[in-house]
Each structure stands twice: as structure tokens, then as C-alpha cells.
Structure 1
Amino acid sequence: MQHPLAYRMRPRNLSEVVGQQHLVGPGKIIARMVKAKTLSSMILYGPPGTGKTSIASAIAGSTKYAFRKLNAATDTKKDLQVVIEEAKMSGTVILLLDEIHRLDKAKQDFLLPHLESGRIILIGATTENPYININPAIRSRTQIFPVHPLTIDDMKTAVERALTDKERGLGKLPIQLDADAEQQLVTATNGDLRSALNGLELAAKSTDPADDGMIHLTLPIIEECVQKRALKADKDGDAHYDVISAFQKSIRGSDTDAALHYLARLIAAGDLNSIARRLIVIAYEDVGLANMPAVQRAVTAVQSAQQVGLPEGRIPLADAVIELCLSPKSNSGITAIDDALAQVKAGGYGEVPDHLKDAHYQGAAKLGHGTDYVFPHDFPNDWVPQQYLPDRIKNAEYFHPKKNGRFEAAFSQRYWQLRNTQRQALRGHHHPQSR
């Protein structure tokens, strides 16, 4: 059985690695390790198809060490033991451990002593953030290197290499790849070289030669072969959370086009639940008091989208995103409650004033609970100055209103008017009389 094209085209040494020059380029960290023959265990962290396995394979080829590949989720402790026995007999083995974030404690404990001895050079590969998802015991024994999506030029280099390589690639086939088809191949796969090469191979093998004997790969053929590989924002992994993060930050930054782009990626991934939750958070956290009607309309839009589902739900969602982007922004609400929480958690609270305590039980008056409470609705404008905060923190201020929108500007004016009037009255020990 022949291996897929992406497997066959894996680099045999560092000079064949496409992209990731920040790691394998001349004078860079992995290149220096290989040159000095002082390899250390590492974790390669990045999206699928960007070269993690290729780098591991190239390191092994450049050093002539034995190279073995296991999967932390599916391979057993016994599989690990086979590799370790091989290392004991023949010397150092480079072990690529895919999905290393799923390594359980039993396998980890079995592996660690052999990392310490240097018999095993571990290259862990993961799409998950290693600082969050990988056990500290493994992290402390490895260097963590980020692997980035390949550029368009990197992708074209790899595709053209695969088309011309007669030994491992498609060079023996009479393939003509149109320029617009190549552009689609390297852009629709979004930096995932594995998808691009496997899509290219599928196109080549499923297309009959023309009358001139050429396998003519046109734009429609390539579109058909990579159509399901175009989007990275699936419902799992860091890429998904990065899209959600970018979605919120784009709305916060009032970039309507960027926000719609990230919304589209989440919609294409079919993740209505994440959109709904995040959009409500964004509305209250980043727009908030600056445009409260827009916040409420965002909530309504989310409810409408959940009721009708996708794809129709994209319409109210888009309307809400555009309005939130173009609304004035204020985070005074979240900062106010966070300041209050911080003071409470630091012990900054006191006893509830007696006149505010519950008085709905027999004997409350004898304790002085509620007896001096003044009922605001008995006064003009339904307001009367009296102390509500505990004595210990009676001058605390959490709310610092902004004036970015007419709603919060009005709130700001009212807040400071009430605050200052109350303070003046309490300083003068003024005791209001009901009307």
C-alpha cells in the first residue's frame, strides 16, 4: 500500500523543511542543536499540517538517530516499552509523541526516567496550548517551540516540489496545475500543508488525462478536492478559542469587517452556542452602559438565532455584531463589579448598618434593626440621603462612569449628583423628614 503524498514528501533533513525558519533556519535553535549534536527534548505546538512531524523526521534524518512515532492517546504503555528497549540496545531514539497533551500519568511516569537518562529524545506534538494542557512534569523537561501556519509562498514551494519530485512525489505523472487552481489549493487549506498535498493527490488521481495525455487540474477540480479542508475553526482545540478571542477583540476595537470575518468562521464551524454566549458577554462587557438599547438588542438577536437555528440565524447575529461594533464602548460595569469583588475578597467589608437590617420579625425593633430607616418613596423624586455602605467602607467608590455614549453620560451626571448630595448631607448629620 502506498502512503499518502503528504507522508511521502516529509523532509529527510532540515534543509528540506518548508517554513518554520525561526526554528530550523541557519543559526536558529533547532538547527544549532542538530549541528552541535546536543539535542534536547521539545514540544512543538501549532495547528495541524504545519510541520511538527516533518521537523521531527528532519531532525532524525539530520542526526541519523532512529526515529519512532507514537500517539499518546491511542498507543499503549507496551508500545512505549518497545521503543525504550530499542533505545537501550541501539542508543538514542527520537520519539515523536503525537497528541502529547493526552498522555496519561501511567505512561508519563514510565517515560520520564528515560528522558532524564537521554536514551529518549522526546519530540511532543500538540495542537493544544502546552502551558495549559500538558503536565508540568513533562513541560519542565522539554523546551516549547511554537510552530506557525505556513505562508502562501511556503505552500507553493511545497506543492511545486511535490509536482516535480519523481521519486516521492507526482513527478512521473503529466500534471498541469492551472495558476488559479494552485492559488486556491494553497489558500483554501489555510496553511495546512498536509491537506493541500493530499488534496492535490486526490485531484491528480481522480482526473482522467485529456486528449493530449495531460492531467489538467483546473480551479473547479481543486475546489472540489479541498472544499472540506478550508476552515480551521472547528469546535475543538486552541484554534477555535483563538477565533472566539479575536471575535471579541474585534468588536471591542470597533472593527466591523474583522468582527464579521470571525463571526463567519464560527458560523461556518456551526458553533452557535459559543457565538451566543460570547456575543452576550461582549455586549455587556464592552458596550454596556454606553449603549444599553444595543445590548438588549444583542440579547434579542441571540435568542432569535437560537430559535431559528443556522443558517438563518446568521442574519440577526450579523445585525447585532455590526451595531455593537459601531456603538460607543464602555467597560465601567465590569470594572465596577470587579473592584467591589476585589475589596470584598480582601476583607474590605463591614457590618450592615442597623437601619438597613431586616425588620420583618418580632423583636427586630428591640435590636434597633430598621428603626431609623428612611423610606425614599416618601420624598420628592423618590430619593433621600442616607448611609447604605458599612461604616468601615462608607466612602468606597467602585463605579467610574464614562461619557462615551449619551446613556452613560446621563448616568454619570446623575451618579455624581446623588453621590455629592448624599455626602454633603451625611457630613452635616442632616436627618430628612418625610413629606
Structure 2
Amino acid sequence: MDQQPLAFRMRPQHIDDIIGQEHLVNEGKILNRMIQAKRLVSMILFGPPGTGKTSLAFALARSLDIPVKKLNAVVDKKKDMEVVAEEAKMSGQVVLVLDEVHRLDKSKQDFLLPHIESNRVILIGSTTSNPYHSINPAIRSRCHLFELHRLTEEHMKTAVHRAAQDDEKGLGDQKIRLTDDALDHFALASNGDMRSALNGLELAVSSTPADESGIITITLDAAEECMQKKSFTHDKDGDAHYDVLSAFQKSIRGSDVDAALHYLGRLIEAGDLDSIERRMIVCAYEDIGLANPQAGPRAVAAADAAHRLGFPEARIPLANAIVELALSPKSNSAYKALDGALSDIRSGKSGDVPAHLKDTHYQGAKEMGRGITYQYPHHYTEGWVNQQYLPDALKNSHYYEPKNTGKFEQALKQVHDNIKTEKNNTR
């Protein structure tokens, strides 16, 4: 029996075997173009765990029959890199697949740089971290950066089917029957991590006895046990899922933190990180807005952290963000004001820009009456001067109605009301 894990055995041998990452490997895309041109360059592959960074690196090297060596920036020493460089001198070129490339220390980096610059060593580094934040600029500037996306459920199903049917590297020498529910669960519970799905499949097959006909039937119960995750109660693409998403957003808007966390938990169990991130960010700007303006950037940061971490750790930044969003004061005044302005524009109420606001950065502008009476607000003590900004047709229009929620918008309301009073007094 082959002792190598199924996920290892199923690693692609050629770029055409890659599942997913169509934006990089499909016909006409950048990595495919490199293979067609028979010229690889050093690169950093970054993305969530299980998206096939190392597999893609090996497939690229093998597609061009270039010798390939794999090292880890944390575990392996400078001496190991020296061995790779010597082999590159003898063979002409070597692909160095370097895991955890963001952990490369200065001495190893300084050794590699001249070999990378000469293209004798083609570095293909892999990392789950953002290379712009974590990788030394000296290495980063010498490499192309390619982001790998989380694999979809369809990608996962393709990988599971391929592994179950492959006679040479997979489990095709056994009679395996996967129920539809089991296949769906492998695809969903792995949350885009192909290694996790294949590990679960291998465990399910090895631990399930064959029936009298020699057929190993993998049921949903077996898939749940081997993935150590229960099947969720609603279809990710069904109406119930959208009901949960709706309840999630409305619970945040309604400041019910317990309900918001409950629906967050259901969405986590469904593995729908993308929808969680979108709803979380839109809540921060639509429902909280100016009442707590820092909620927006923090929601984006939490979404980015969750995306990098993947489940189960992703639940931690998500929980922090949802508690803040649910308990923040709420205001939709900013986007409602914009909607009012858009409504006027779309109904044909716009008018010409007042002459004193028009561009003056060209010869002859003054002769055309552009900008002559414009008053520069910074020349006034209050940093504000009463002059017309809206077109004549809309000069009395009023869109923004500040709410008295949250200290930030309360401060904006005070400024807004003071300006409004000054305008009324000078009419």
C-alpha cells in the first residue's frame, strides 16, 4: 500500500492538471503564457491554505522539465540553499520551491539574491501572508506576485472525483461509490482547502468496509465523521440560506448582538465566508455609517484577516467585528443623502456648474468669466464662506439630514447646523 498521502500523490504533474486558478493557468493567462514561451521567472504565490500553491509550483517546473527542489524558509538552512545553487550551476537552471517564503531571514535572502537575478535559480515562493506586508522588498522586487484564490465547491468536487477514479495515483483501483450528499459535504466542509477534502476522502475510503460486491459506499455519515464536521441544515444556494443572510444583516441593524452571532454561526457552518464578509462590510457603511465611521475600516480589516486565516480561525476576527457592528450606534444619513442627490440627477435636475466654481487652469479662462468671483474658504477665519455651490436649478436643495447618534455624527450635526444658520442669516 502506498504510504504517501492521497493529497500528495494527486499533485498535478503539468499545468493542464491544475484545478482552479483559471485566472492564471487558462489559455492566454500569464502562467500559461510562460509555459508556452518556455520561460519561467521567479514569483511569489500567495493565498489561503489548500489552494495548491506548492502543487502549482511543481507543475510549472515539470511542464518545462526543469529540475525542481523544495525547501522551507523556516526549517532549512543556508547550507541547503547552497546545495541548490550548486545543482543549478551543474544543470544550468533549477526551480526552488520555497514554502513560508515570508520567513526568509537576511542571510538566506542575501545568498539567494544573485542567483535569482541571474535566473539560474528560479524562486517560486509560497505564503499565506500578504507579500506586500510580509516579504522583504529586496526579494519582492525581483519576483512577480500572483494571488491564488480559494477553490470553489465545484473545484473541490472535481478534485474528489478525480482522486476517486485515478487508477495510478488515486483510489481508482478500488470500487468506490460516493453518494451525492457525501460528495457535497467533502466539497463544502473543506472550505476551499483541497488537501482537507482529499484527506477526508482517503480516511473515509480506508475506514469503510466494502460490501459483498466489493463496493465501498461513502455516505454522508461517513463524510461527516471523516471531515469532523456536520452537514449544515440548509443549502448554500437555496432560499433558506438567503433568509439566514437577511436575518444576519437585520439583526446587526437592529442591534441584537445575540441574534447577529447566532446567524453568523449558521453562516460559518455553511462555509460561506464570502457572503459573511460582504454583508459585514455593507452593514458597516449602510447601517452604521457616520455614527461610528471607524466601523467600516475595521470591518474591512476583519474581513481581510478572516480571508487570510480561513476557518476555523476566521471566526475570531469575524466575532469581534460583528459584536462591534451590532452594538454600534446606527445612521444611514450619508448614503440616504447621496440617494437624494442621485434621484435629482436621474430625473434631469442638474444644471450648469456655477461660473465661479469652474476650472481656471487654462489660458483664457478668466476671459470666459471662469472662477472670477470664487472665494477661497481658507482665507476666512472659520474656514468657511457663504457662497453658492449647487447649480442654479438646485441651489435651495437639501439632501443631508444628520442623525443625533454617535459622537462623530453629533459633531458633524453641530457643524452642519451652524453653517445652515449662517446661510439663513445672510440671505
Alignment TM-score, normalising by the size of structure 2: 0.62
For residue 212 of structure 1, report the CA deviation from its aligned partner. 3.2
Deviation by residue 1:159-200 (Cα, 9 ceiling, x = unmatched): 111111111000011211110100010111111111111111
Deviation by residue 1:295-335 (Cα, 9 ceiling, x = unmatched): xxxxxxxxxxxxxxxx9xx999978745659x324689xxx
Specify the alignment match of 1:305 in structure 2.
none
Give runs of aligned pairs for residues 223-242 of structure 1, distance below 5 A. Answer: 223-227=224-228
Distance in 2 (alpha carbons) for counterparts of 1:111 and 1:128: 21
1:152 partnered with 2:150: no
For residue 37 of structure 1, report the CA deviation from its aligned partner. 1.4
- Distance verdict in 2 for CA 1:424–1:49, change over 3 Å: closer
Largest Rg, 1 or 2: 1
Letter of the aligned partner of 1:36 in structure 2? A
Specify the alignment match of 1:91 in structure 2.
92
Deviation by residue 1:386-412 (Cα, 9 ceiling, x = unmatched): xxxxxx985247xxx963435579877
1:74 partnered with 2:75: yes
1:395 partnered with 2:382: yes
Give runs of aligned pairs for residues 130-169 of structure 1, distance below 5 A. Answer: 130-169=131-170
* 2:10–2:163 contact (8 Å) kept in structure 1: yes
- Distance verdict in 2 for CA 1:84–1:215, change over 3 Å: same
Q: Matched residue of 1:212: which SS?
A: coil
* 1:92–1:119 contact (8 Å) kept in structure 2: yes
- Distance verdict in 2 for CA 1:165–1:102, change over 3 Å: same
Identity rate, percent: 51
* 1:260–1:321 contact (8 Å) kept in structure 2: no
* 1:329–1:404 contact (8 Å) kept in structure 2: no
Distance in 2 (alpha carbons) for counterparts of 1:43 and 1:291: 38
Letter of the aligned partner of 2:130 in structure 1? N
Distance in 2 (alpha carbons) for counterparts of 1:6 and 1:38: 28
Letter of the aligned partner of 2:123 in structure 1? L
1:177 partnered with 2:164: no
Distance in 1 (alpha carbons) for counterparts of 2:285 and 2:24: 42
Letter of the aligned partner of 2:382 in structure 1? N
Specify the alignment match of 2:113 in structure 1.
112
* 1:159–1:197 contact (8 Å) kept in structure 2: yes
- Distance verdict in 2 for CA 1:80–1:330, change over 3 Å: farther
Distance in 2 (alpha carbons) for counterparts of 1:316 and 1:145: 30
Letter of the aligned partner of 2:331 in structure 1? P
Q: Matched residue of 1:81: which SS?
A: helix
| Structural RMSD (CA) | 4.4
Specify the alignment match of 2:64 in structure 1.
63
Q: Matched residue of 2:228: which SS?
A: helix
Alignment TM-score, normalising by the size of structure 1: 0.61
Specify the alignment match of 2:403 in structure 1.
405
1:6 partnered with 2:7: yes
Q: Matched residue of 1:196: which SS?
A: helix
Distance in 1 (alpha carbons) for counterparts of 2:90 and 2:166: 36
Give runs of aligned pairs for residues 35-434 of structure 1, distance below 5 A. Answer: 35-227=36-228, 263-264=264-265, 287=288, 290=291, 321-322=325-326, 324=328, 327-329=330-332, 394-396=381-383, 403-407=401-405
For residue 118 of structure 1, report the CA deviation from its aligned partner. 1.4
Structure 1: segments with no counterpart, 5+ residues: 231-249, 269-278, 293-310, 333-391, 426-435
* 2:50–2:193 contact (8 Å) kept in structure 1: yes
For residue 416 of structure 1, report the CA deviation from its aligned partner. 5.8
* 1:199–1:225 contact (8 Å) kept in structure 2: yes
For residue 87 of structure 1, report the CA deviation from its aligned partner. 1.0
Q: Matched residue of 1:80: which SS?
A: helix
For residue 81 of structure 1, report the CA deviation from its aligned partner. 1.1
- Distance verdict in 2 for CA 1:254–1:70, change over 3 Å: farther
Distance in 2 (alpha carbons) for counterparts of 1:331 and 1:167: 61
Aligned residue pair count = 313
Specify the alignment match of 1:273 in structure 2.
none
- Distance verdict in 2 for CA 1:228–1:124, change over 3 Å: farther
